[in-house]
């Protein structure tokens, strides 16, 4: 049987030049290295400066992923950019800027808005394009400049986030698969949303509901409404619950036990969230890949950056069973089941 399965063939990452440690941050925010480490596991993050932008990071990560995949940029049929912090609020899409930066005029391009779950949604989107025969190679990018929307006066949130980009080339694999041999690549996904939690993670002003004009900005009663606001405890409880549900559901569909799962690649928001999920699921913590200590929470970029770092560290091996799981604003969540 010949199938059009979708396989990740290349990974790339890009970080801003400026590295900011917890100690650096405590120079301008009332916080401490001790608090940030003990409550989140984060030690450093990278923040844009100068001419760095969401699209410039995305293009750099994409070039690295294309090189890693060993394909020509012109082979890309579709660019999917998962981001909540595009260069421009409405249009052009950041995906169009990536397309222009890579010089691939024949490709389609669009942004995907699913907050921190964006990359998991993006992989499933790529798989669908490939399965349907619309494209042979899809570029999925998670890129964020969260420093542009965090409230630097709110220590509850600003210490958590960072900027960065990760990219994956998803390609068709027309390998012949015998009935006894397991198919490799992206197998299936679970995409979910809990819209009842829409206000738990929100930037209130600046959209069409509260447009920002020179007049309206004067009338904003709470300056925090201009920035990212989060009910941390609510998001924490949601995160632990949906990580467990998503992993359990994906394992059940795959027909595998906890012991057969090689890696879980979770959205990197907070070390304690992952610890709690590991305990609740009864899956050892060392099977959850974590790099939140180095970059903070880069929203849609965390999962591709994690996959990239795993690849660099030679942790990804053929036939491994891997689950990705994302969660965040929306409240969206979801995950992918991959046989590497
Ligand atoms: O991509 C998804 C995005 N979001 C998340 O994943 C976040 C989910 N939530 C969390 O990770 C946690 O709820 C936080 C890390 C945000 C907060 O941790 P917590 O253990 O729930 O802390 P808390 O909100 O209960 O705050 C405890 C104390 C408070 O002091 P008081 O009122 O008890 O005196 C805060 O004012 O810690 C204080 N605090 C800080 N202190 C020093 C809050 N932020 C800071 C800070 N530095 N940066």
Going by pLDDT thresholds of 50, 70 and 90, the confidence category of residue 221 is confident
- 197 shares a domain with 279: yes
Average pLDDT over residues 296-322: 98
Contact 262, 287 (CB under 8 A): yes
Q: Residue 179: inside a domain, yes or no?
A: no
**121 and 204, same domain (yes or no):** no
Same domain, 330 and 234: yes
Q: Verify whether ligand 1 is closer than 6 Å to residue 328 (CB atom).
A: yes
Q: What is the pLDDT of residues 277-291, one digit of tens each?
A: 999 999 999 999 999
Same domain? For 265 and 330 the reply is yes
**Same domain for 189 and 166:** no
Ligand 1 pocket residue status of 38, Cβ below 6 Å: no
Is residue 47 domain-shared with residue 164, that is, in the same domain?
A: yes
175 φ, ψ to 5°?
-65, 145
Choosing from 139, 173, 207, the residue where a domain stops is 173
CB atoms within 10 A of CB 287: 15
Segment 53-75 shows an average pLDDT of 98
- Separation of alpha carbons 81 and 53, rounded Å: 14
Contacts 24+ apart (CB under 8 A), 313-319: 315/263, 315/289, 316/263, 316/340, 317/262, 318/184, 319/182, 319/184
pTM above 0.85, yes or no: yes
Same domain for 245 and 124, yes or no, is: no
Catalytic residues: 116, 267, 297
Q: What is the pLDDT of residue 216?
A: 87
The answer to whether 157 and 229 have CB atoms below 8 angstroms apart is yes
Task: Determine if residue 319 is left, alpha or beta; phi over 0 gives left, psi from -120 to 50 gives alpha, anything else beta.
Answer: left
Q: Are residues 156 and 223 in the same domain?
A: no
Task: For residue range 245-273, list pLDDT tens digits in order.
Answer: 999 999 999 999 999 999 999 999 999 99
Residues 227 and 80 in one domain: no
Residue 108 Cβ < 6 Å to ligand 1: no
Q: How confident is the model at residue 218 (pLDDT cuts 50, 70, 90)?
A: confident
What is the count of structural domains for the chain?
Answer: 2
Above 80 in pLDDT, residue 148?
Answer: yes
The verdict on 22 and 78 lying in the same domain is yes
113 is a domain residue: yes
Q: Is the CB of 228 under 6 A from ligand 1?
A: no
Q: Which of 23, 27, 39 to mutate to test the pocket of ligand 1 (most atoms within 8 A of CB)?
A: 39
Q: Does 317 lie in the same domain as 194?
A: yes
Helix ranges restricted to H, the chain? 22-25, 33-40, 54-69, 94-102, 118-132, 155-158, 214-219, 232-254, 271-281, 292-295, 302-312
Query: Residues with Cβ < 8 Å from 313, sequence gap 6 or more?
Result: none
The enclosing domain of 237 has a CATH number of: 3.40.47.10
- Beta bridge partner(s), residue 56: none
Are residue 191 and residue 127 in the same domain, yes or no?
no
Q: d(Cα 61, Cα 50) in Å, to the nearest integer? A: 18
Which residues constitute the domain of residue 304? 185-339
């Amino acid at each position: 049987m010949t199938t059009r399965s979708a396989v990740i063939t290349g990974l790339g990452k890009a970080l801003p030049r400026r590295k900011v440690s917890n100690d650096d941050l405590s120079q301008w925010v009332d916080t401490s290295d001790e608090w940030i480490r003990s409550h989140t596991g984060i030690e450093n993050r990278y923040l844009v400066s100068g001419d760095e932008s969401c699209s410039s990071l995305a293009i750099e990560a994409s070039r690295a992923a294309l090189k890693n995949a060993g394909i020509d940029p012109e082979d890309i049929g579709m660019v999917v950019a998962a981001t909540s912090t595009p260069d421009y609020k409405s249009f052009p899409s950041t995906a169009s800027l990536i397309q222009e930066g890579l010089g691939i005029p024949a490709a389609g391009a669009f942004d995907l808005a699913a907050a921190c779950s964006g990359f998991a949604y993006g992989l499933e989107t790529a798989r669908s394009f490939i399965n349907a025969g619309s494209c042979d190679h899809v570029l999925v990018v998670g890129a964020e400049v969260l420093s542009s929307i965090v409230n630097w006066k709110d220590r509850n949130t600003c210490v958590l986030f960072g900027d960065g980009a990760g990219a994956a080339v998803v390609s068709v694999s027309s390998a012949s698969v015998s009935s006894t041999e397991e198919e490799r690549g992206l197998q299936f996904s679970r995409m979910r949303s809990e819209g009842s939690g829409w206000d738990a993670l929100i930037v209130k002003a600046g959209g069409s509901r509260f447009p920002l004009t020179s007049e309206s900005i004067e009338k904003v009663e709470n300056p925090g409404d201009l920035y990212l606001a989060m009910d941390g405890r609510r998001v924490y409880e949601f995160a632990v619950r949906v990580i467990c549900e998503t992993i359990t559901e994906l394992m059940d569909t795959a027909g595998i036990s906890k012991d057969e799962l090689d890696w879980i690649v979770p959205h990197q928001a907070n070390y304690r969230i992952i610890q709690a999920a590991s305990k609740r699921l009864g899956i050892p913590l060392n099977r959850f890949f974590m790099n939140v200590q180095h970059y903070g929470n880069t929203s849609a970029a965390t999962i591709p950056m994690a996959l990239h770092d795993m690849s660099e560290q030679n942790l990804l091996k053929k036939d491994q069973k891997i689950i990705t799981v994302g969660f965040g604003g929306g409240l969206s969540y979801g995950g992918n089941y991959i046989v590497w």
